Chain A
Amino acid sequence: MSNLGYRALRMHVIACLAAASMLPACAEERPGIPAPEHSLQFPVGIAVHPAGYALVTCSNFDLRYERASLRVIDLAGIQASDLSQPDPDDPYLERFILDEVSVGLDNFGAAVVLSSDGTQAAVSVRETNQIILLDVDAGPDSIELNCWTSERRPDEPFPMCDGARYVMELEADDPFDIQLVDHEDGSRSAYVTFLRGTAVEVWDVPVDEEGLPGLKYELDTEVLGTNDIAISPTTGMAFVTSRFPDLQTNPIFYFDTQLGSDAEVHEVNLFQDLLGNETRGAEFAADGLTLALLIRDPDMLIFMDTQPGDDGRPSQRFLGEVVVGNQPSLLRRKGEIFFVTCAQDDAIYAIDGVKHRLISAREDICKGPYDIAFWDHDDVQWGLVTCFEEDTLAIVDVDPSSAGFLDVVARVGEPVDRSLE
Chain B
Amino acid sequence: MRAAGSTSRWQACMLAAACWLACFACDEPKPALTGRLYAPVDLEVFKGCPQHLPECAEEEKHFLLAVVSSQSDDVRIFDAEKRAFFSSVNPFFPLSVPVGRYPSCAGMDPTGEFLFVANGLSGDLSLVDLDRLVEVDCDRDTTTCASSLHPDNERCRAGVSRAPLSFDDESVLAPESIAVPRGVEGGEEPSWSRDKMLPVWVSLSLSGQLARLEFTYPLGEGIPQRLDLAEIVDVGGVPSGLAITHDGATLVMADEASDSIAVLDTLSLSLDRVDAGGPTRRVFLTPDEQIVYAVRLDSPEIRLVDLQSRAPVPTGYEALPDTARNPDEDGSSLMLPGIPRSITFVEGHSLSVLDEGSESIDYTTELLPEEEREGVDQEVIRLFAYVSDMDGNVYLLDAVNHRTVDSQPFYGPALGEIGYVQRGEVIQPEELASCIGAESCPYPQIEDFDRVYDGVDELDPIYHGVWLYPGYTRSESWIITWEGVLPGTDQSSSGRFDGWTLEDERYGLDYGAAGVQAGDYLQVLSPPAGVGEVPDPACVADGKEDAQTYFRVESVDEKSLRLVEVSGVDPGRCWPEAIRYQVRVRESWMVVGTESGVMGDRIEMGVRYDNGMIALTILAPTSLDENEDPIRVPRDAAFGFNADSGFVHARFAPSIRAGVAGELVSIDIDGEEDDEGRLADDSVFLLFESSNALMEFFPGSFESTNYLLYQ
Contacts and interface: CB of A to CB of B under 8 A. Distances in A.
Interface string B104-127: 000000000000000011000000
B392 A271 contact: yes
Contact of B657 (A276, A355, A360, A363): A276
Contacts of B390: 271, 318, 321
A318 B298 CA distance: 5
B1 A271 contact: no
Nearest to B662: A323
A359 B174 contact: yes
Nearest to A319: B298
Nearest to A360: B121
A367 B4 contact: yes
Contacts of B298: 305, 317-319
A80 interface: no
A257 interface: no
A6 B206 CA distance: 37
Contacts of B656: 274
B41 A358 contact: no
Interface in B656-711: 656-660, 688-691
Interface string A334-357: 000000000001110000100111
Interface stretch (B6-14, B216-224, B260-268, B303-311): B6-14
A359 B7 CA distance: 29
Contact of B12 (A1, A272, A298): A1
Contacts of A274: 656-659
Contacts of B472: none
A163 B657 CA distance: 50
Contacts of A305: 298
Contact of B174 (A357, A363, A419): A357
Given A320-B297, A355-B174, A297 B691 contact: yes
A325 interface: yes
Interface string B379-400: 0000000000011100000000
A381 interface: no
Interface residues on B, range: 35 or more
Nearest to A300: B690
A323 B39 contact: yes
A365 interface: yes
B623 interface: no
A298 B5 CA distance: 26
B690 A323 contact: yes
A359 B206 contact: yes
B660 A300 contact: yes
Interface string B296-318: 01110000000000000000000
Contact of B206 (A320, A352, A419): A352
A299 B256 contact: no
A366 B297 CA distance: 35
Nearest to A273: B657
Interface string B163-181: 0000000001010100000
B690 A248 contact: no
A364 interface: yes
Contacts of A364: 2-5
Given A320-B256, A323-B41, A363 B12 contact: no
A1 B9 contact: yes
Interface in B1-53: 1-9, 12-13, 35, 38-39, 41
Contact of A357 (B5, B71, B205): B205
A3 interface: yes
Contacts of B252: none
A271 B257 CA distance: 24
B294 to A, nearest CB: 16
A357 to B, nearest CB: 4
B410 interface: no
Nearest to B40: A323
Residue from the set A4, A298, A361, A420 with the largest chain B CB neighbour count within 10 Å: A298
B297 A319 contact: yes
26 contacts: A1-B8, A1-B9, A7-B1, A248-B657, A271-B392, A271-B657, A271-B659, A273-B691, A274-B658, A298-B689, A299-B690, A318-B297, A318-B299, A319-B298, A320-B281, A321-B390, A326-B71, A355-B256, A357-B174, A359-B172, A361-B102, A363-B3, A364-B4, A364-B5, A365-B4, A419-B6
Interface of B: 1-9, 12-13, 35, 38-39, 41, 70-71, 101-102, 120-121, 172, 174, 176, 205-206, 238, 256-257, 281, 297-299, 339, 390-392, 656-660, 688-691
Given A3-B1, A274-B659, A347-B3, 16 more contacts: A1-B9, A3-B3, A298-B688, A299-B690, A317-B298, A320-B297, A321-B390, A326-B71, A346-B3, A352-B206, A355-B174, A355-B257, A357-B205, A357-B206, A361-B102, A365-B4
